[in-house]
Amino acid sequence: MKTYTVLVIGDKPEEQMELFNCNAKVDKYIKYYINDAKSIYDKTIKTIELLLKTNSENERLSSYLDDIKEMTEIEYFSFITEGLEHDTEGNAWDDSNPRGKWSKFTSGGSFSIPLVTIDGKETFQTIKGKVDWNKTHLFNEELYSNTWELIVEGKEPINENDNKIITTMKSHKEYLLSFGTKENYIIYNTSYWNYAVIKDGEWIDMENKNSFEWIKNFYKTFIELLDDNTLLTVFEYTV
């Protein structure tokens, strides 16, 4: 199981989460149409090929792609609909929640970025106006700026803290360089963000999105314009 974080915006956060419960049952519906077998097959191959362009060393994904290409369109349709009920035309029916995103969730924890309140406390639920955003979003920029200068630019250490940074980070220079610029490195590591957001009954997450742009723009997109009395709740969930 994998663990992710979601920011729920607004009141009754538990009720909002329940909309996306994978374990919930609904009236049966056609999940996959047999006439879509070709488009499903083609789309799956195209998606995996795109993912492999940025992650070519993913042997598991590459092997999965090879397996799919050995199947016909109908064979792949049968593979992904195994265990579902099929009607006389071949369509696959299901009663699981089509909006399902999680199998279990709890209050934010070790995987979550806490909200730091004005009185200095860390929490995973409060209203926007009680958050000290200077200590929650784009916080510790000086640390990451200094790390970049020491590791990438070769700045000479001037104190024991600098030496500790070099000792810890000197083997991660390639990781830092992958960000392209110092600004990108700082933004990525200091921005407040979550993997997913629930707002107005809609679930939005970073799947199939540019991770840097998601993290960079998270606060501006989902938080900045909210009323100060808006309740913010962070949950960790597993799928």
- Domain boundaries in the chain? 3-18+102-238, 27-96
pTM (whole model) above 0.85: no
pLDDT digits (tens, 9 = 90+) for 149-201: 999 999 999 999 999 999 999 999 999 999 999 999 999 999 999 999 999 99
pLDDT digits (tens, 9 = 90+) for 51-92: 888 777 788 899 999 999 999 999 999 999 999 999 999 999
Task: Give the three-class secondary structure for 8.
Answer: strand
Type of residue numbered 186: I
DSSP states along 102-158:
BSEEEE--TTSPPEEBTTS-EESEEEGGGB-GGGTSSTTHHHHHHHHHHHTS-PPP-
Would you place residue 4 in the very low, low, confident or very high pLDDT band (cuts 50, 70, 90)? very high
pLDDT digits (tens, 9 = 90+) for 104-138: 999 998 999 999 999 999 999 999 999 999 999 99
